[in-house]
């Protein structure tokens, strides 16, 4: 199976490393970042490219653009791992559409295009008899899409709820356990690389809300946008509130929730017993699906990280190969 | 809650078991054999606490074990829900917020505990609303949400339940 990777940051490099180390039968024929690209249809020398990227900030030749890669490289699947733009989905949206319309399957970790245009992208994929997979876009390493779509097939899903943002979970964990103020905990999260320089998306609950929109539209067949989500972030939670919760052996976590029957999506800080399954520590994510046959099923794992996120991409790639009768 | 059961061995157990089956807690049991009664039944008055929303389950289980219920007492405000309010609570007149919940007649504020913050910081308070039924507590929560919206107060609600 031959793949082209667009985006060579944390996730892209993690993926390349795994493919290089594990004998998965996946060959990388092209890689592109924001300023350069490299193509070799017989398979690239990954070590050299990682080295180059490290030293120069470029993965390849500045003359090789993403468009050129999409057009002329030999690949079965495009792996799209460029930055998320929640408003426009670009440039990822164009890359994905282009690949699908040429009959190439796409695996992405990018929330933007899936939250904004899933039904349209699915239509293009179906018309061109190829796949669009996005396991890595929701809760990083946790195979939540696969679990809901395939593992729980035949169940009616009544509610999906849980911790969808590792940054907020880290901040709240530290406020609760160490009595840090919100500002102290945020600062610490930044120093450890768990929060971006501009943490707005995370702490205002927008990142969690986008993930709910993706689950609602892809698994439940809704047609939701970010505006349909009732969102409250954690930036107004004082440590006093966590102390009050703590008096009753409870704590506060940012919970994303899809009420399937009422088609309601909500992200808000909520009170939970400290020993509740969803009260996970630090940057972990945890999601419960309430179903009619299986009862409650909870998945817990890492919501981000280079290799962890790449794990979900690998799983999507192998799934596509399986579905294609291992033709490549 | 007052139950009527047949006067034969084992019947009391048959009446009490469903209470623990639904997670209830028996507070007291009072037998009274009515000397004037011709019938062979025994009246038992049971005072109990039930978890939220379990009354219907209990009624069904009792019916199945052949126990008939004479009367369901007027026990009030057994369902409770604790929330945390965050904002300029004193400034927005917390006692008015409490009065408006108490004034509904179907719900009341049980406990209220508060932490006094540093100057200019928002205040946090834990407030427990008590009511008779899930519907009433939902209505009280809707009212609290309205009041909080008007006053610019953030409510942190429990995850479970409503
Ligand atoms: N990191 C995680 O743990 C995680 C988890 C789940 C999902 N995701 C999602 O996965 C995606 C990638 O995340 P990341 O952490 O790897 O981001 P990142 O480290 O910022 O890397 C982004 C990569 O995309 C490249 N890029 C930027 N604009 C481009 C363009 N127009 N065309 C081609 N390449 C372009 C960048 O090029 P330069 O190297 O030249 O700057 C960089 O190599 C994002 O959508 C993110 O939301 C990440």
Residues A159 and A127 in one domain: no
Report the percentage of chain A scoring pLDDT > 90: 97
On whether residue A318 sits in a domain, the answer given is yes
* CATH classification code of B2-71: 3.30.70.260
Contact call for B117 and A238, based on CB within 8 A:
yes
Please tell me the distance between residue A325's alpha carbon and the centre of ligand 1 in angstroms: 31
Statement to judge: residues A86 and A197 lie in one domain: no
Partners of B113 on chain A (C-beta within 8 Å) are 244, 247
Task: State both tokens at A249.
Answer: 């052996």
Instruction: Name the pTM for this structure.
Output: 0.86
Token pair of A240 as six digits: 């006093």
Give residue limits of the domains in chain B: 2-71, 79-156
Q: Which CATH number covers residue A42?
A: 3.40.50.720
How far apart, in Å, are the Cα atoms of A94 and each of A41, A69, A313? Answer: 23, 13, 20
pLDDT tens column, A235-275: 999 999 999 999 999 999 999 999 999 999 999 999 999 99
Asked if the model's pLDDT at residue B153 lies above 90, the reply is: yes
> Is residue A298 one of the residues assigned to a domain?
yes
Name every residue whose Cβ is closer than 8 Å to that of residue A252 and which is 6 or more positions away in sequence.
Answer: A172, A176, A237, A241, A242, A245, A269, A270, A271, A272, B84, B156
The tally of domains found in chain A comes to 2
What was the pLDDT predicted at B67? 79
What pLDDT is attached to residue B35?
Answer: 62
Is residue A35 lining ligand 1, measured as CB closer than 6 Å? yes
Residues A55-68: tens digit of each pLDDT: 999 999 999 999 99
For residue A278, the surrounding DSSP H or E stretch is none
Per-residue pLDDT band for A324 (boundaries 50, 70, 90) equals confident
Lowest mean pLDDT among A187-201, A219-233, B58-72, B140-154: B58-72
Residue B111 pLDDT: 86
**Structure confidence by residue, pLDDT tens digits, B24-45:** 887 777 776 666 666 666 677 7
* Domain assignment present for A8: yes
Residue A112 has pLDDT above 50, yes or no: yes
- Exposed / middle / buried, residue A54 (Cβ in 10 Å: 0-12, 13-18, 19+): exposed
More confident residue, B86 or B46: B86
Burial class (CB in 10 A: 0-12, 13-18, 19+), B25: exposed
Atom of ligand 1 nearest to the CA of A53: 39
A191-222 pLDDT, tens digit per residue, is 999 998 889 999 999 999 999 999 999 999 99
Strands, DSSP E only, in chain A? 2-6, 27-32, 37-39, 77-80, 105-108, 132-133, 157-163, 229-231, 250-259, 264-273, 284-291, 296-302
Q: Given an 8 Å threshold on Cβ–Cβ distance, is A240 in contact with B124?
A: yes
Residue A17 has pLDDT above 60, yes or no: yes
Q: Is residue A147 part of a domain?
A: no
What is the pLDDT, as a whole number, of residue B145?
95
Asked if A232 and A127 sit in the same domain, the reply is no
Q: Are residue A317 and residue A266 in the same domain, yes or no?
A: no
**For the residues A78-99, what does the mean pLDDT come to?**
97
A211 with A276, same domain: the answer is: yes
pLDDT band at residue B72 using 50, 70 and 90 as cut-offs: confident
Verify that A180 and A276 share a domain, yes or no: yes
pLDDT at A328 over 70: yes
> Is A34's pLDDT higher than 50?
yes
The CATH number of the domain holding residue A181 is: 3.30.360.10
**Domain assignment present for A127:** yes
Which range is least confidently modeled, A74-78, A122-126, A173-177, B69-73?
Answer: B69-73
Indicate if ligand 1 lies below 6 Å from the C-beta of A303.
no
Is there a single domain that holds both residue A210 and residue A126? Answer: no
pLDDT(B73) > 70: no
Which residue puts its alpha carbon closest to atom 5 of ligand 1?
Answer: A304
Pairs across A and B, CB distance < 8 A:
61
How does the average pLDDT of chain B come out, rounded? 82
* Topology of the domain comprising B79-156: Alpha-Beta Plaits (3.30.70)
pLDDT, tens digit (0-9, with 9 covering 90-100), for A290-323: 999 999 999 999 999 999 999 999 999 999 999 9
What is the structure's pLDDT at B107?
A: 92
**Whether residues A281 and A318 fall in one domain:** no
* Coil/strand/helix, residue A325: coil
State which residue of chain A sits closest to B127, comparing Cα positions. Answer: A244
Q: Which of A172-176, B8-12, B131-135, B143-147 shows the lowest mean pLDDT across its residues?
A: B8-12
- A321 shares its domain with A254: no
Do A248 and A266 fall within a single domain?
yes
Please report the pLDDT score of residue A5 as a whole number.
Answer: 98
Same domain, A20 and A86: yes
Position with higher pLDDT, B21 vs B3: B21
**CB count in 10 Å sphere of residue A3:** 26
pLDDT band at A42, cuts 50/70/90?
A: very high
Residue B162 has pLDDT above 50, yes or no: no
Residue in chain B nearest A250 by alpha carbon: B158
Q: A11: domain range?
A: 2-141+307-325
Rounded Cα distance between B162 and B149, Å, is 18
Residue among B124, B157, B159 minimizing CB distance to A244: B124
Q: Is the pLDDT of residue B77 over 90?
A: no
The mean of the pLDDT values for chain A is 97
ipTM, 2 dp: 0.86
Within a domain: residue A146?
no
Q: Are residues A238 and A104 in the same domain?
A: no
| B79-156 has the same fold as B2-71 | yes
């Amino acid at each position: 199976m031959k793949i082209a990777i667009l985006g060579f940051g944390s996730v892209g490099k993690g993926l390349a490393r795994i493919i290089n180390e594990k004998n998965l039968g996946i060959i990388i024929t092209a890689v592109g970042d924001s300023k350069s690209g490299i193509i070799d249809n017989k398979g690239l020398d990954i070590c050299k490219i990682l080295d180059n990227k490290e030293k120069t900030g470029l993965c390849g030749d500045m003359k090789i653009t993403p468009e050129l890669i999409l057009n002329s490289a030999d690949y079965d699947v495009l792996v799209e791992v460029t930055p998320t733009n929640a408003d426009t989905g670009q440039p990822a949206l164009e890359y994905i559409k282009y690949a699908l319309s040429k009959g190439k399957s796409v695996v992405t970790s990018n929330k933007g295009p899936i939250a904004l245009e899933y039904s349209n992208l699915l239509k293009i994929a179906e018309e061109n008899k190829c796949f669009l997979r996005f396991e890595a876009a929701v809760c990083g390493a946790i195979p939540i899409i696969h679990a809901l779509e395939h593992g729980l097939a035949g169940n009616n899903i009544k509610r999906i709820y849980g911790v969808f943002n590792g940054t907020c979970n880290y901040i709240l964990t530290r406020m609760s356990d160490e009595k840090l103020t919100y500002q102290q905990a945020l600062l610490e999260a930044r120093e450890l690389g768990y929060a971006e320089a501009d943490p707005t998306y995370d702490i205002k609950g927008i990142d969690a809300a986008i993930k709910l929109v993706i689950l609602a539209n892809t698994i439940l067949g809704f047609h939701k946008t970010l505006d349909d989500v009732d969102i409250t972030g954690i930036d107004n939670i004082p440590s006093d509130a966590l102390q009050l919760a703590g008096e009753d052996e409870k704590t506060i976590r940012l919970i994303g929730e899809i009420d399937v029957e009422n088609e309601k999506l909500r992200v808000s800080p909520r009170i939970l017993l400290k020993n509740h399954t969803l009260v996970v520590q630090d940057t972990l994510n945890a999601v419960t699906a309430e179903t009619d046959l299986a009862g409650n099923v909870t998945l817990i794992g890492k919501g981000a990280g280079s290799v962890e996120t790449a794990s979900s991409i690998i799983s999507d790639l192998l799934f596509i190969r399986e579905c294609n009768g291992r033709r490549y | 809650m007052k139950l009527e059961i047949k006067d034969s061995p084992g019947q009391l157990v048959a009446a009490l078991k469903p209470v623990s089956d639904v997670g209830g807690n028996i507070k007291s049991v009072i037998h009274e054999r009515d000397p004037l009664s011709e019938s062979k039944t025994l009246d038992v008055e049971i005072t109990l606490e039930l978890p939220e929303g379990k009354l219907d389950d209990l009624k069904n289980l009792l019916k199945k074990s052949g126990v008939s219920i004479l009367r369901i007492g007027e026990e009030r405000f057994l369902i409770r829900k604790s929330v945390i309010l965050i904002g300029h609570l004193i400034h927005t007149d917390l006692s008015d917020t409490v009065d408006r919940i108490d004034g509904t007649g179907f719900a009341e504020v049980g406990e209220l505990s508060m932490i006094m913050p540093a100057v200019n910081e928002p205040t946090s308070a834990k407030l427990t609303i008590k009511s008779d039924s899930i519907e009433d507590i939902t209505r009280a929560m809707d009212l609290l949400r309205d009041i909080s919206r008007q006053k610019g107060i953030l409510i942190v609600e429990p995850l479970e339940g409503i």
